[in-house]
Each structure stands twice: as C-alpha cells, then as structure tokens.
Structure 1
Amino acid sequence: MASLANVFRCLVPARALAARRAGRVAGWLLFLSCAADTAPAAGGARQPTETVAASGELTPNCRRAYAEVLKLRLGPARELLRPDLAGTPAAPAPLLVANCVDFADLLLNQDAARYEAIASAQEARLAALDKAPASVLRDYARAEMTLHLGLSQLLFKHVVMGGYHLRSGYRQMQDVVKHYPAFLPARKTLGIYQFAVGSLPEGYHWLLSLLGLTASSGEGLKNLALAAAQPHDFQIESQIFFSLIRESYYKKPEEALRLAERLHAQQPDNLLFSYLLISINKRQHHGEAALAAYRARPTGPGYAPVPYLRHMAADLLLYKGDYDDSERENLAFLREYKGLHYRKDAAFKLYLAAWLGGAPAATVARYRAQINQPGPTDVEEDNYAQHYYHEAVALNPVLTRARLQTDGGYNQQALATLRGFHSTPTTLWRDRIEEPYRRARAFQGLGRLDSAWFYFERTQTVAGPKAPYYFAAQAALQQGYLAQEAGKKAQARFYFEKALHYPWHEYKNSTDAKATLALRELK
C-alpha cells in the first residue's frame, strides 16, 4: 500500500529537503507522501455510498501475502500471490498487494536498476484494474497504486510525472472517501496525505496553490485516528502512522514506543516491527534499547535486505563510543545499499569514528574526502555532512563527543565530557554557542528541566538573532515544548515563533515544520 512507503519514510529519517526548490518539494512529498486532474473511474457504476461490501476486504490469501510484506518477507509474499495473479489477473486485491511488494522492494534499496521494471509493472497493474468490475476495493486500489507510481517517479527524480500522479492519486483518494465514507483504509491513506499537505511550511504554499491542493493537518489526523481505532485490513498501518506523527511532530513518544513494543512482542519474526522499535528508541535517545533491538532482529532466508538498518546501528555504536564496530557497520551499509541518499552522512560518520577513535591520519582524511563525492543532498543528514565539508572548520572534539553521547542517551557521560570544554578568546563563535546547547540537551535528557531551560536560554543569548547555526533555533523549539507541557501557552507561542525567525541553518526546514505545527496545536 502507498502507506507502507510512508512507514519507511517515517522510520528512515528522510526529511528530504533539497537545495533547489523543486528538490525540496520532492523531498517533502517523499517524507510523508503528500500530493492533472483525476481521471474518471473506469469499469462501471459505483457501489452505494452507505455500505461497504465484502469486496472491500482482502481475500484470505492476499491477507496472508500482505502479512508477509509487513514482515519484509517479499519473496514469500510474491509466491503466495502468484496463483491469484494468474487466475484472476484483474482482481483488485492481488494487484494491490503485488504493487505493495514491488514498491517496498524499491524503497528499501532504492536501486535505480530496478526502477524501470517496477514502474512498468505498476502501470500494467493500473491498466489491469480498468477491466475489474466496479467496487470500493477497485477504486481504492487504483488510488493507492497511482500514489505508488508517483512516489516511485519522484524518488528517481521524474518530478513532473511524479507530481502529476501524486496529485491524481490524492484526488482519487478524496473521491473514494466521499463515495465510501465507511471504508476505513481510504481514510487511513487520505489522512496521511492530508497531514503531509497541511504540514508543509509556508514557503511551499506556492506549490499547493499551483497544484490546486488544500488540506488540514488536523483533519488528516482525525481521519488517521478513525482508521487506527477500528478493525480493518490495514489497521496496524493506521496505528503506526498515527503514533509516528504524534511522536515526531507533537512530542508524544510514549504511545509510539508502547505500540512498537507490543507489535514486536506479538510478532518477533516481523522485521518491520523490529525496524520500528529500533528507530523509535534511537530517536528518543534510548541507545542501549535500540542496539538490543537491532541485535535481536529477525534474519534469514526470505527477508528482504534492509541496508539502512546497518547505518542506524553504526550511529548507535558511534554514540556509545564503539568506533571500530561503527566503522564496520557503515562500510557494510555502503557496500549493500544501492541508493544515493545517506552516503554523505555515512562518510561523515566514518570520519567521526576514525577521528575520535584515533585512526591514522590518512584514514581520517580519506573518509572526510569521501563526503564530497558526487551525490544528492536531499536529506538533511547529507546536507549537514556536505555543509560541514564546505565550511572546512575543525570540529571541537569535546563538543562532538558530548553531542554523540546525548544522541545516544548517555547524558551523565556527556556532562562529564563537557567538563573538559574551556572557552578562551580564540574559541570559535560556533563552539561558544554549541557548548550551552549541549549542556541543555543533557540536562533535558536527565529530566533536570530548570537547568535545561537555563542553558537553552544561554544558547540564544550567545548566538544572538542571526547566527547561521541550528543550536539557537533548536533551543527555542525545545523551550516551546517545555512551556507547552507546563501549560504556559503564551510562553510556548513566543518560543515557537522565535524558532521560526532564525535565519538559515542546517535543520531549518524540519525545525520550522515542527514549530509551525506546534503553533497550530496551540490554537
């Protein structure tokens, strides 16, 4: 389903913001899969809007195949679907799940050599649907598969056709919800897309106007919550998306973590659920728990390769100070991964592991030079790595270790590390700004919020209003969240607006998106 792509765009932190406007737009569309006019539905009259017949459900065999897809066992899923696709070539259920298999394959490895074959298969399945009798599942499958095609095209830089198909699929899904309001899978997908469109920063409103798209992130969450609360074939997907959005944008991590732990306990052989558990723990700075989940992940024949897991593990090991193991995991990631994203970030992390681990100078220099190899900077992590390379200013080893330690949740160790930082008149302005920010994040992780607030405030004082670094903007964002949690709405609004007003920095787009959504929630 199109939303399986969204699982991976949420779990893989691809906030995807390219340097050029078109690239930035494509990146946002890929992050949570947001959106030429909709083609009319083929194949006869619609069903009545009041009821959803059994044709809106997957067949038992397709349901088994779909369960294999969620486990990332793509080969077994294809085998299960083979008889259905041969015997009923126009049936919506097997076409839909088969499309999900190929789409997951494409997203996991981002292999350009597979793109043409998969895009052709997507188009062929859409054509086959035109021969299917009218049903809610046919219309839903057409909309989902159109979104698959658009996302696939955008992923491989076919921006015009990708944008067309995303807009078309979005409009089709709106039509499905209009005519079949009780069909919850359509509300799931529409809710995700509404949230994505509605949460685009103000700088992208020109695109929405150009495409004729309007959406409310709040309305999207309502649709998604409805789909998450009631049983249907795709309820688990709905629950995952709802919890991930609330975790990432509304600082509600507990429910996402509980869901991931429950799903993993119920299906320890499910690689996607392991991925989810690793990713959420990593984002919430639970480094040891994330590493434990990584080491316990299911492996073996039948599972699709997921190279990005190695890149996540390399980060977790870097946070812990296991530099040799971090290096091995990132080198394995670069060998196995077919895509272009995260390569600069992997080179940067290889550089950090070599530098902090005391590797020979030639090794450190080689990894640093690797950052500048040709490649996209669509994702913020790659953009940050490239910016570091071009800035050509040496990192401070004390602050770098402290940053990695707080990222992994090793906050007491980070504070101990920071005791080794001593500012002098020659200390870089960037480092003088970063030092209180690192203290603030460590105290925040320890729950010592008064101390965290003091150092967040100090970060902004040292930075002033125009520092071209992310520390002050992030400090203001965190103060907004702290004030919001304390019920101080006016104070929260002040700091969220302050976060928006800082000039360009490496994480401006994601910071602005979070601050904007937080301000909407305050209303």
Structure 2
Amino acid sequence: MRILLTVILTVLTYSLQAQKVFDFNASCQEAYHDILSLKIDAGQRLLDAEKRAHPDNLIPYFLENYVDFLVLFINEDPAEYDRRSAHKDQRLDLMAEGPTSSPFYGFTRAIINFQWAAVEMKYGGNMSAGWAGRKSFIAIRDNKNAFPDFAPNRMIYGAMKTVLGAVPDNYKWFTNLLGMKGSVKDGMAMVGDFINDNDTWAKVFRDEGIFYYAYLKFYILNQRDEVFRFIEERHLDTVNNLLFAYMVANLALNDQRADIAEPIIRGRNMSSEYLSTPIWDMEMGCARLYHRERDANVYLERYLANFKGRFYVKDILEKLSWHYYLEGNMAMAERYRRQVISRGTAHTEADKNALRDAQSGAWPNKMLLEARLLSDGGYHKEALQVLSGKGSSDFATDVDKLEFSYRLGRIYDDLGRPDDAIRAYLVAIKLGEHRQEYFAARAAWQIGYIYERRGNKNMALAFYQRCIDMPDHEYKNSLDQRAKAGIARCNGS
C-alpha cells in the first residue's frame, strides 16, 4: 500500500511539474520588446534564460517565432528559411500543450500561423501561405468569441479583417469559400480601438498594433497624411526601435518624403545587437537617388551584393541603370539593364514593370525621368522646374506625350494645385486609356482621390470606376485594389 501511494504521489507531482503554462511575465515582455525593436540577440538571451528558469513556460517558444518571422521576412535569405522552416509545426505542437483555459492558447497559434503565412508568401509557397492564413483567421476568430475581453485579439483579427475586406472582387469567391470574410471599416475600427486601449495586455502589444495600424491606414485607407500625423503624435522611437525606424523610412519613401527617410536611416542605433540587414542600404540608396545625389549607386550596389532574396531585385537594378543613364555612363547603365533580365523574379508589379522596360530596349526620356525621380522623392518644386516651359508637343513619341501629361498632373497635385492637376490628368486619360502604360489608370485614380477629398463622392466613384475599367495595363492589380478601396470608403463600407 505504501509503495502504491508513493507511485501515485510521484505521478501526481510529475504531472503538476510538467503542466505547461502561458506566463507572459516581465522577462518575456522585455524580450518581446527587444525582438520587436530588432534587437534580436538581446531578446534571444532573455528567452534562453527564461526557458532555463521556467522550462514549462510556453511564451519563450512563442516569442522565438517572432525572431524567425522578422529575420526571414526582412532578409529573405533562402538558407535561413531552410534552417528555420521546421520550427512552425514544432511550435504549434508546443502551443497545443498549453491550457485551453488561457486566451494565449488560441492567440499564440493564430499569430504563429499569421507570421508563417507572410513568410511563405515571401518564399513562393502561396498554397501553404493560404492555408496558414486560413488557420490563423479561424483561430483568432474563435479566440475572440471565447475570450472577448482579451484585447490583443482585436489587434490581429482587425488587421486580418481589414486586409480581407480590401481583397479584389475577383478573388473574394476564394476567401468566402474558405470562410474568411472581411470589412475594411470594421477591421480598422478594431485595430484603432486596440492601440488606444489602456488594458494591460493592450499596452504590452501596443507597438505591434501600431505597426499594423500604420501600414493598413497607409495602404488600405490611403490616409497618408494622417499616418504621418499619427507617427508624429505618438513620438515613436526611431532611434532605438529599428522596426519603427524601418516602418517610418519605408512609408516615407513610398509617400514622396525622402527628406524624412534619410535622417531616420542615418540616425538609427547602429549597435551590433540589432538585426543585420541590407534593407538600410536599399532605403538610403533610393532616398539619395530621388534627390539625384551622385553616391546613390554606392548604397544600391551594396544592397544587391548582400541581399539574398527575390523581391524588388529587378526594380532596384532598374533604378541603378537609371542612375548611370542620367550620369551619362551608358556602359554601366546597359550592364545593369541586362541584369534586370537575368536576376531576381517578376512576382511584384514593380519587378514586372522593370522587366518589361528592360526587354523593350528603349530608354526613357531623360527630362521625364529626372522629373519622375524628383517627384518620387517629394522634391516637387525641383521637378516642376525640370518641366518648366514644356508642353506635349515638345515630345516626339506618343508615350512621352502621355507621360508628360501624367507627370505634370502628379506634380501639380503634390504642390496643392488640384484644378491644374485634373486638367493634366484628363489629357493623360485621353492619350493613354487604351495603352498598356499605367499613366492613364493612375491619373483616373488620382482624380477620384481629389474628388473624394473634396467630398464629391459621385465624381470620386466615377473616376475610381474608370480606373478599374481600363484593361491590361501595368500595375492593374494594385491600382484596381486601390480604386476598390476608394469605392468602399465612398460607400462607407
């Protein structure tokens, strides 16, 4: 009897000791903050110490998925992907050992699948990305229903609903089939409520929520000025939080604000504790190119020498060819143009466009290219000066006449002269609505956006639809998506 009692007590004691828990304690919170700041090594050391001190705590293993996600997503290194890809299923199995009574049981599985869906998209696994995305959506939806007061549910569920709500109509049949329905309005409301919540868990995850919120507001709602006001009001640390530094610099470069991006890139903490990534050279190279600085090639060439991924390689090679073309070095310009054809992949629309340009054999008009780069960087007065005194008749080819009208419209638009912009855009539409160049469709979108800002929703809807109706042009998918998001905003959905 005594032996039996000893065995039972031993088994019970072992069971209690082996019970897995989700303990997002202070040490884990510090590690999470370091990892999100891209201070990867410091975060990993804290996780290793936590695993030694509390071997039954599942949160350190969950947070290691953030490490894999950030390293793989930012650097796109195939060798790292091969080394880390098995971690996904291992971690999901570990999370399943945790108590179902905890909101972290469903939340951790949702996040892990969400992050790996994004990674698989980067590495070409579209089917596995789709299934991981579905599992994430279902897990967070169910977790929100089971634990409605757990604030972080709104962060990820809202982000996913926003993205799904912006899916083009021709793909919605697939997402609906998978039981994944979205709403831009409802999703953004969730994320917005989350980042302003004073709940304990909302405070822990706030930086991650801000990252999602800024990108969704920028790309889905197209509220770009509001995004930069939000960034300024939040006083985000772009010196020691390099994820925020990357975000602000990246958004600035995509919103013609190169003058904001460059000091952020230069002013970031350069400690070796942070993730080593060539992305800073790419961003600096673009910022310097947009202001026509002669050292732009130094950064872009260093980026291409160190980047192991596939996305935007052709786009950067084309930018390098433009740099040398405008410098008058045709040997180097031709060298990089040939590499546009042979290097990278054409999955993104920017890469596809670079490939088409290279295969055409034609070089852009130097004046229009100069104006384009200055305009892309936000140097609108300098861009207008380049085109000063010129008209469509000063250009020999139909495509140059078309681009001139579009570029002039964009410059007037960005200088706050909307009526002048509309006149130039209408010429671009007339010249290009049946051509493959994107200028006419983008001009229609820009007019729609001008009218939307003015509150004239009927005119905005008409021009957004006109953008969608133009067939077979460059950047069609992304422009259609932006136009449909505009229609959704005008319709209050």
TM-score scaled by structure 1?
0.85
Verify: 1:146 aligned to 2:116, yes or no. Answer: no
Question: Which of 377, 401, 406 lines up with 2:375 in the alignment?
Answer: 406
Q: Looking at both structures, which has the greater relative contact order when contacts are Cα pairs under 8 Å and sequence separation is at least 6?
A: 1
Verify: 1:174 aligned to 2:138, yes or no. Answer: no
Distance, in Å, in 1 between the alignment partners of 2:225 and 2:388 is 32
Partner of 2:485: 517
C-alpha contact 1:194 1:216 (8 A) present in aligned 2: yes
* Gapped regions of structure 1 (runs ≥ 5): 1-54
C-alpha contact 1:414 1:442 (8 A) present in aligned 2: yes
1:252-297: CA deviations, max 9, x gaps? Answer: 2233213433556546322112222212322221222221222212
C-alpha contact 1:108 1:305 (8 A) present in aligned 2: no
1:307-353: CA deviations, max 9, x gaps? Answer: 2221122111111111x311111111111211111111111011000
After TM superposition, give the deviation of residue 164 of structure 1 in Å. Answer: 1.9
Question: Which of 309, 319, 331 lines up with 1:349 in the alignment?
Answer: 319
Distance, in Å, in 1 between the alignment partners of 2:423 and 2:392 is 18
Give the count of matched residue pairs: 466
5 Å-filtered alignment, 1:282-293, equals 282-293=253-264
SS of corresponding position for 1:378: coil
Could you say which structure has the larger radius of gyration?
A: 2
Verify: 1:327 aligned to 2:293, yes or no. Answer: no
C-alpha contact 2:114 2:132 (8 A) present in aligned 1: yes
After superposition, the Cα gap between the structure-2 partners of 1:280 and 1:160, relative to the gap in structure 1 and judged at 3 Å, is closer
Partner of 2:286: 315
SS of corresponding position for 2:342: coil
Distance, in Å, in 1 between the alignment partners of 2:457 and 2:80 is 50
After superposition, the Cα gap between the structure-2 partners of 1:341 and 1:266, relative to the gap in structure 1 and judged at 3 Å, is closer
Question: Which of 102, 122, 130 lines up with 2:96 in the alignment?
Answer: 130
C-alpha contact 2:314 2:343 (8 A) present in aligned 1: no
Partner of 1:372: 341
Distance, in Å, in 2 between the alignment partners of 1:158 and 1:318 is 33
Partner of 1:120: 86
After TM superposition, give the deviation of residue 476 of structure 1 in Å. Answer: 0.9
C-alpha contact 1:470 1:507 (8 A) present in aligned 2: yes
Distance, in Å, in 2 between the alignment partners of 1:118 and 1:295 is 31
After TM superposition, give the deviation of residue 203 of structure 1 in Å. Answer: 2.0
After TM superposition, give the deviation of residue 200 of structure 1 in Å. Answer: 0.9
C-alpha contact 1:90 1:131 (8 A) present in aligned 2: no
After TM superposition, give the deviation of residue 56 of structure 1 in Å. Answer: 7.6
Distance, in Å, in 2 between the alignment partners of 1:448 and 1:154 is 40
SS of corresponding position for 1:515: helix
Question: Which of 395, 401, 412 lines up with 1:432 in the alignment?
Answer: 401
Distance, in Å, in 2 between the alignment partners of 1:99 and 1:422 is 55
SS of corresponding position for 2:85: helix
Partner of 2:6: none
Question: Which of 99, 104, 116 lines up with 2:70 in the alignment?
Answer: 104
SS of corresponding position for 1:215: coil
After TM superposition, give the deviation of residue 154 of structure 1 in Å. Answer: 3.3
C-alpha contact 1:406 1:442 (8 A) present in aligned 2: yes
After TM superposition, give the deviation of residue 191 of structure 1 in Å. Answer: 1.0
Question: Which of 243, 252, 256 lines up with 2:227 in the alignment?
Answer: 256
After superposition, the Cα gap between the structure-2 partners of 1:374 and 1:405, relative to the gap in structure 1 and judged at 3 Å, is closer
SS of corresponding position for 2:467: helix
1:135-170: CA deviations, max 9, x gaps? Answer: 111221122112233333333223333322221121
Partner of 1:199: 166
Distance, in Å, in 2 between the alignment partners of 1:256 and 1:410 is 20
Distance, in Å, in 1 between the alignment partners of 2:349 and 2:235 is 29
Partner of 2:5: none
* Paired AA for residue 108 in structure 1: I
Partner of 2:464: 496
C-alpha contact 1:256 1:280 (8 A) present in aligned 2: no
* Paired AA for residue 454 in structure 1: R
Q: What is the CA RMSD across the aligned residues, in angstroms? A: 2.0
After superposition, the Cα gap between the structure-2 partners of 1:139 and 1:112, relative to the gap in structure 1 and judged at 3 Å, is same
SS of corresponding position for 2:127: helix
Partner of 2:450: 482
Distance, in Å, in 2 between the alignment partners of 1:267 and 1:356 is 33
Question: Which of 44, 48, 70 lines up with 1:78 in the alignment?
Answer: 44
Partner of 1:242: 213
Choose 104-113 or 125-134, whichever is displaced more.
125-134
C-alpha contact 1:92 1:141 (8 A) present in aligned 2: no
* Paired AA for residue 161 in structure 1: S
After TM superposition, give the deviation of residue 425 of structure 1 in Å. Answer: 9.1
After superposition, the Cα gap between the structure-2 partners of 1:450 and 1:159, relative to the gap in structure 1 and judged at 3 Å, is closer
After superposition, the Cα gap between the structure-2 partners of 1:517 and 1:151, relative to the gap in structure 1 and judged at 3 Å, is same
Question: Which of 221, 239, 242 lines up with 1:268 in the alignment?
Answer: 239
* Paired AA for residue 183 in structure 2: S
Distance, in Å, in 1 between the alignment partners of 2:34 and 2:463 is 45
Distance, in Å, in 1 between the alignment partners of 2:233 and 2:306 is 30
Verify: 1:460 aligned to 2:429, yes or no. Answer: yes
C-alpha contact 1:75 1:302 (8 A) present in aligned 2: yes
1:232-271: CA deviations, max 9, x gaps? Answer: 1212222332233222233322332134335565463221
Partner of 1:471: 439
C-alpha contact 2:211 2:244 (8 A) present in aligned 1: no
Quote the sequence identity (%). 27
SS of corresponding position for 1:116: helix
After superposition, the Cα gap between the structure-2 partners of 1:512 and 1:224, relative to the gap in structure 1 and judged at 3 Å, is same
C-alpha contact 2:73 2:118 (8 A) present in aligned 1: no
C-alpha contact 2:395 2:401 (8 A) present in aligned 1: no
After superposition, the Cα gap between the structure-2 partners of 1:326 and 1:88, relative to the gap in structure 1 and judged at 3 Å, is same
SS of corresponding position for 2:295: helix
Partner of 1:51: none
Distance, in Å, in 1 between the alignment partners of 2:154 and 2:279 is 30
Distance, in Å, in 1 between the alignment partners of 2:83 and 2:53 is 22
After TM superposition, give the deviation of residue 130 of structure 1 in Å. Answer: 2.3
* Paired AA for residue 124 in structure 1: Q
